[in-house]
Amino acid sequence: MADDILELKGISLSFGGLKVLSDVSFTVPEGKITAIVGPNGAGKTSLFNAISGFYKPQAGEIFFKGENIGHLHPPKRAKLGLARSFQNIALFRGMTVLDNIKLGAHSHLKTGLLAALFYIGKAQREEMALREEVETKIIDFLEIDHIRNMSVASLAYGLQKRVELARALAIGPQVLLLDEPVAGMNREEKEDMARFILDLNQEWGMTVLMVEHDMGMVMDISDKVVVLNFGQLIAQGTAEDVKNDPEVIKAYLGSGNVSDMRRRLGVEAAGSE
């Protein structure tokens, strides 16, 4: 059994009166692919934002490699090894693909202003070492060598997503957080992305935590699936376990019971005769 690299304990988050997450606890095993699924509005992206530090949960703790990281700001968490991609592409549109990826490595570089202005010795060596690493490890791996010098604004959606993954890899993460990596993609692009995620996991030993709507992909590649519904964790386990869990089936397909639905929507007071 693999060790857990990331552990969430009793995470609760609300915006004003709106309860987004209530008492969510689960673990992410190291070197595995974990997926968070759930119907729209289940709180998946909010959970992601809590993990990467954009939202501060009102209750609960987040442990990364046994260390409580709940109080750290997003850049600090990134530096520790939590890299994320965004649901809506957040690339730097004025830069080339190569520069976008290089920016991922920003906090590992040391060149100062003077060295940068004159591009002397150390600055040049650092840039060249970075270029080589980016080229051999990331660009080759993700098969984006043909677009490396293009501006990201001119790329197709699927490629932009791939560049975003490349940039997240350049951070040098230990856990990769992917927010809907295949949303809006066509079948071919989805298959490519699934293949990259699997390769990352198998060849690099990367721990992946992803939010995804595409059930087919989730069931195919995940080692562990966590199901959220209305901010509550309703099931977790292997893809097979989760698929047959009655709670999950109810969440996705409904139970056929009207009062059940009313209860879930929180309208029992208004709806009861």
Q: Give the residues lining the site for another protein (CB under 8 A).
A: 52, 74-75, 78-79, 84, 86, 90-95, 99, 102-107, 109, 111, 113, 115-119, 123-124, 126-128, 131-132, 135, 167, 171
Residue closer to another protein by CB (options 124, 202) is 124
Tell me the closest approach of the beta carbon of residue 164 to another protein, in angstroms: 9
Of 7, 9, 12, the closest CA to residue 57 belongs to 12
Tell me the closest approach of the beta carbon of residue 34 to another protein, in angstroms: 21
Tell me the closest approach of the beta carbon of residue 216 to another protein, in angstroms: 29
User: Phi-psi region for residue 263, left (φ > 0), alpha (ψ -120 to 50) or beta?
Assistant: alpha
* Strand bridging mode 33-37 / 224-229: parallel
Of 152, 156, 139, the closest CA to residue 100 belongs to 152
d(CA 270, CA 207) in angstroms, rounded, equals 45
Residue closer to another protein by CB (options 42, 123) is 123
Tell me the closest approach of the beta carbon of residue 162 to another protein, in angstroms: 16
CA dist 262 to 151, 259, 267, 270, Å?
50, 5, 5, 9
Tell me the closest approach of the beta carbon of residue 159 to another protein, in angstroms: 18
Residue closer to another protein by CB (options 42, 91) is 91
Tell me the closest approach of the beta carbon of residue 99 to another protein, in angstroms: 5
Residue closer to another protein by CB (options 119, 252) is 119
State both tokens at 239: 């893809």
35: Cα separation from own chain's centroid: 9
Helix (H) or strand (E) holding 63: strand 59-64
d(CA 128, CA 131) in angstroms, rounded, equals 5
The sign of the torsion formed by the CA atoms of 55, 58, 63, 68 equals positive
Tell me the closest approach of the beta carbon of residue 261 to another protein, in angstroms: 38
Residue closer to another protein by CB (options 124, 186) is 124
Residue closer to another protein by CB (options 61, 133) is 133
State both tokens at 268: 């029992």
Residue closer to another protein by CB (options 79, 264) is 79
Of 89, 92, 90, 69, the closest CA to residue 81 belongs to 69
